[in-house]
Structure 1
């Protein structure tokens, strides 16, 4: 088979890496890809937002299956367009991807179908949002309704912080139209976790749970990023809790989407808080998480292509998805200044010293004059696999000591919560 993966970050590198292990695939293309992906696939310089050009390429090269990594093309209807062109693609339509594209839509869906989540209110009027925050008090969570590359959420510890967040989103339009509407939520306390699932309408096949670390500094300090590291599975979360989440949250969500005429096919990401009252949804995404994918896929035993094919034919129900009895840890190395304005163009050294069970997933790299250089905020994801979480963690941090680029920053506490 010929397969096309759309995207060019660490998540797509992990997807390509996993697909490259399938004996059924002859050739993988990735648009636009990155230097790490280029070692496993043929990179094609087409932007993720150029849906028509991607479809033309898929036709010309007789691509038999396309898979999309990032949210942006999904929300712009890449699945709808490919299907109209008679092309095979596994992922949610524009209508189904709205579960990520609008936080207000997701909240309304949860309220209608009684899926547990935080209490909330949504606003398009700045003054009304301000009045609500002042009445409710802090801590409180402010979210831009639309896509903001994982940065449109502020957990405000004080009313002043909440007011500043509203001003940034609604008055200063820091996230463009994404912040024209905001969702204000009650602050939930507990253990955070992500549960990804393969979905083909009503059938849900959960993956191993993972935990992301969003704030840029140790101890969950500093501004939120796209994710500074993850680990999977979670030794502190009982398997019966995962079963409960699937039963009470993920399956009802899939069924609700079918009821709404927005049947979801693809990867459903559920971000959760395990509160004293039970698990509650923080957010949904309509695709693989980044960097969760970098720890989840290395633990997958089943051929990923087989799962995609089963999903396309509504055959997930009869599919057994197997997982390795191991742990994985991913530590993100970022550029100095990230998530604000960051450095670019620093030479990356030491990757030649890394070997399995450590995998280096490229997130923001490029080649210049034959040298690998930093190009994004998040540059590399260093993933290690071990028999235990401690072993995986030791391997990942051991590998990081061999890798260097000017201004490299990483958290030193990824996964440490689970080891306390």
Structure 2
């Protein structure tokens, strides 16, 4: 096997990516996808846990819910900077150690949150949790994309990223019961021990990226074991074509990547702004609309169910090269649903249906945007590309934490406030049309 391909693929060698493309899925690949789903599940659990706990913490501490904007934003800021500055280290030190470290940080941060007694405590501990999540997401997606064949890449990445919505849905369904039994602190204690347990599982069960091992020339015994489990020939393999190890942001603006990079950033920022605003503030917003707390908590997680369905539905056209029209359709569905909030009187049944449709076009489309990023960037800069896409998305999420606080204090009705979110989704449609035009010019 060729230890490194940083200077190009040697004559007669086959890149690891092409070799994987020519083989059926093997048990080790299914294992990596399953572990990737488990990692991403934690992100959704954490996001929804904070949103669910805000009304209870506000009541216990005798504060207005809008006071918790900085605490919601601090986790997102931690994710933002970690995704951009720390996650790319996975391209240099390997995916597996980065993921183990990331989940350890997530677990410790969540456990520390359970002991918070002031809003300052929440800001600090949530920021620590965000740092761990920002490290994990790009590397989990990159690792899965490096293990699966091209014909299944969009589907597998979509399954992994859909686990964020599944985690939020799980937290929404079980969180109220946990808080009744253990208080809001119990929600974060559970959210702390679970990542620490999964970190131990990754140490034992998660293989390192074979492309990374080939490029780095490390752990030859481990590499041979992985190659055999993938059903590949042990000799004549090379790392995927690489642009070197200079995985800096400037690489994302090389010829052929600049336009797609800017469009991906815009899409990620806008969709994450909408999605996180709804996830973080929807329970409080629905209570203002007249929902009981139980109905508000139940209705707020319906958007995640729509996101799971939307993400899986978008994966099929994405694998067939039709991701642009699929995203346009998803955005259209969500825009129509959001405008419906300004027309339909608030009640759990009708607004629940609108939330489900909104999830298809927001959480579902965000999954598809991530799959699009995997197809745009080559393996050696994939964690960098995904990290910066996640960073720009988290920047939109940070803005949403403060925007939601302003909406709660504004004279707008909850229905009118939700209808306003159709504007950034319309801008997403414009960005997708620009991407389509760019692809037509290149072809």
Given the two structures, how large is their TM-score scaled by the length of structure 2? 0.26
Comparing both structures, which one devotes a greater share of its residues to helix?
A: 2
Greater percentage in strand: 1
TM-score, normalised with respect to structure 1: 0.27
CA radius of gyration, larger in = 2
